[in-house]
Amino acid sequence: MTHLINVSDLSPQEIEAYFDQAQRFADELSSGAFYSEALKGKIILSMFFENSTRTRTSFDIAAKRLGASVVHWDPENSSMKKDESLLDTVQTLAAMKPDAIIVRHSEYNAPRFIAGHVDCPVINAGDSYRAHPTQALLDALTIKQVMGHLEGVTVAICGDVAHSRVANSNFALLDKLGVKLRVIAPKSLMPESFSVQGIETYTSFADGLPGCDIVMMLRIQKERMDASAIPNDAAYFADYGLTHDKLALTGKTSYVMHPGPMNRGVEISHELADDPKLSLVTKQVANGIPLRMAVLQSVCQSVS
Ligand code: NCD
């Protein structure tokens, strides 16, 4: 049985298989409404302990495109509000025999903990500031589509890197795939260390952007930090908000990404976020569906 907890657990062959299957689904989705019965009769349990628009909805749509049903468990209306523990909650839900569980949680390794107490596949939909494997996979798929390949592409990941699970999973995944990684962040939002070797670090766009193909902006994770770590929004935007002028520092045609939700006028200008040629934000969201279809199909079919 296969879980998807961290990208570091994936072999290059498994990553390629996800990309190939996701691209097949993407092609089919682009040629009209797609429906398959590959997961007909499967029941997917969705457990989101943190808010979400993109990830939760795209898992739902992905599951339904493959014929599965989705059941949402909502912490706010659950017996955890009557002090039931996470373990008792998980064991209770596992006794109902879902075919797979999707988990988002603010605690590091909660998805792995849950995987240890259920007998179905578990997919990590984002935990703490450490891991967001399906976001990294859909980001890498998006870069591959736009650049034609991943090996040798230069990607700068910018902003609140210290508190970003998107950044952490992208470092682990893109490094495995031969991408050259840079980080551009103020000192207060720069991690003390990285899980992979060889990342170039910069504290300004002027130093870090020249030569970059892809500039990935990140939301400031105010919920995961002391507010004193960042200046006010206007001052942050002046130094670390991406605009067309700053993107031009790459010296080539380069593209901007953002996992969303975006704080316009803080991390990125309105104009750049909405630029149909240079912004890949909508493409990232769209790729969430075929990528999560590939993941759901693979983990559900891994159960013998
Ligand atoms: C991110 C998340 O929740 O980790 N969003 C997403 O899943 N697309 C990023 C964020 O919240 O800033």
pTM for this prediction: 0.97
How many angstroms separate the most distant Cα atoms in the chain? 57
Interval 248-276 mean pLDDT = 97
The model's pLDDT over 173-231, given as tens digits with 9 standing for 90+, comes to: 999 999 999 999 999 999 999 999 999 999 999 999 999 999 999 999 988 887 777 77
Query: 258 CA distance to ligand 1 centroid (A)?
Result: 9
Other residues' Cβ atoms within 10 Å of the Cβ of residue 35:
11
**Gap between the Cα atoms of 161 and 190, Å rounded:** 6
Could you confirm whether 132 is annotated as catalytic?
yes
Count, residues in the chain:
304
Does ligand 1 come within 6 angstroms of the Cβ of 166? Answer: yes
Residue 252 a catalytic site member: no
**Residue partners of 165: CB distance under 8 A and separation at least 6:** 126, 127, 128, 129, 130, 131, 132, 135
Helix (H, G, I), strand (E, B) or coil at 120: coil
Sheet of 122-127, strands arranged across: 69-73, 43-48, 100-105, 122-127
> For the chain, what percent of residues have pLDDT higher than 90?
93
CA atoms within 13 A on the CB side of 239: 15
Ligand 1 atom showing the smallest separation from residue 104 Cα: 3
pLDDT tier at 271 (50, 70, 90 boundaries)? Answer: very high
Higher local confidence (pLDDT), 33 or 21: 21
d(CA 198, CA 178): 11
What is the atom index within ligand 1 of the atom nearest the CA of 51?
A: 3
Cα 183 to the center of its chain, rounded Å: 17
* Ligand 1: centre distance to CA 95 (Å): 30
Residue-wise pLDDT tens digits, 134-184: 999 999 999 999 999 999 999 999 999 999 999 999 999 999 999 999 999
Q: How many CB atoms lie within 10 A of CB 147?
A: 17
The average confidence (pLDDT) of the chain is: 96
Residue 256 pLDDT greater than 70, yes or no:
yes
* Gap from CA of 52 to ligand 1 centroid (Å): 7
Q: Which of 56, 65, 105, 132 is catalytic?
A: 132
In this predicted structure, the answer to whether residue 304 has a pLDDT above a threshold of 70 is no
pLDDT at 224: 84
User: Contact, 259 vs 166, CB < 8 A?
Assistant: yes
Contact 260 CB / ligand 1 (< 6 Å): yes
State residue 92's pLDDT score.
96
The Cα-based distances of 210 to 92, 184, 273 in angstroms read 53, 12, 20
What is the distance between the alpha carbons of residues 60 and 298, in angstroms, rounded to a whole number? 16
SS3 269: coil
Angle ∠(247,268,134) on CA atoms, nearest 5? 95
Q: What is the DSSP string of 57-79?
A: HHHHHHHHHTT-EEEEE-GGGSG
Is 250 close to ligand 1, i.e. is its CB under 6 Å away? Answer: no
Pocket of ligand 1, candidates 7, 104, 135, 165: which has the most ligand atoms within 8 Å of its Cβ, to mutate?
135
Task: Judge whether 64 counts as a catalytic residue.
Answer: no
